Amino acid sequence: MRSKILLLCAILLLMIFISVTPAAAANDDSYYALSGPCNLEFPQDHGAHPGYRTEWWYYTGNVETGQARRFGYQLTIFRRQISPPGAARQWPDPASKWRTQQLYLGHIALSDIDGKGYHTAEDISRGVLGLAGVKQTDSQVTVFLKNIVIKIGSESHRLQATSEKFSFDLFLKPLKGPVLHGDEGYSHKGDTPERASCYYSFSRLQTRGKIKFNDQELSVSGLSWMDHEFSTADLQPGIEGWDWFSLQLDNGSDLMLYLLRQADGHLHPASSGTFVDENGNTQHLSLDAFKIETLDTWKSPHSGGLYPSSWRLTVDMDDLQVFIDSNLADQEMRTPDSTGVTYWEGSVSVRGQARGRPVKGKGYVELTGYADGGKPTI
Taking 80 as the threshold, does the pLDDT of residue 14 lie above it? Answer: no
Q: What is the pLDDT of residue 194?
A: 86
Percent of the chain with pLDDT strictly greater than 90: 78
Question: In this predicted model, what pLDDT tens digit does every residue of 289-308 receive, in sequence order?
Answer: 999 999 999 999 999 999 99
CA proximity to 121, closest of 106, 132, 138: 106
374 or 270: which carries more pLDDT confidence?
270
Question: In this predicted model, what pLDDT tens digit does every residue of 76-111 receive, in sequence order?
Answer: 999 999 998 888 777 777 778 888 999 999 999 999
CA atoms within 13 A on the CB side of 48: 23
Q: What is the pLDDT of residue 93?
A: 73
Question: In this predicted model, what pLDDT tens digit does every residue of 237-253 receive, in sequence order?
Answer: 999 999 999 999 999 99
Taking 90 as the threshold, does the pLDDT of residue 28 lie above it? Answer: no
Distance separating alpha carbons of residues 21 and 36, to the nearest angstrom: 7
CA proximity to 165, closest of 223, 104, 108, 106: 108
Taking 70 as the threshold, does the pLDDT of residue 277 lie above it? Answer: yes
CA proximity to 315, closest of 367, 272, 281, 279: 272
Q: What is each CA distance from 13 to 109, 114, 343, in whole angstroms?
A: 15, 28, 9
**What is the pLDDT confidence band of residue 1, given thresholds at 50, 70 and 90?**
very low
* Record: fold of 2-367: AttH-like fold (2.40.370)
Q: What is the pLDDT of residue 35?
A: 67
Distance separating alpha carbons of residues 202 and 159, to the nearest angstrom: 14
CA atoms within 13 A on the CB side of 65: 13
Taking 60 as the threshold, does the pLDDT of residue 5 lie above it? Answer: no
Mean pLDDT of the chain: 90
Q: What is the pLDDT of residue 26?
A: 41
All residues at 6 or more sequence positions from 141 whose CB lies less than 8 Å from its CB, including other chains: 43, 46, 47, 134, 135, 150, 151, 152
If one counts every other C-beta atom within 10 angstroms of the C-beta of residue 114, the result is 15
Taking 60 as the threshold, does the pLDDT of residue 13 lie above it? Answer: no
Q: What is the pLDDT of residue 88?
A: 77
Domain ranges of the chain: 2-367
**What is the pLDDT confidence band of residue 192, given thresholds at 50, 70 and 90?**
confident
Q: What is each CA distance from 89 to 83, 85, 363, in whole angstroms?
A: 11, 8, 45
Q: What is the pLDDT of residue 87?
A: 80
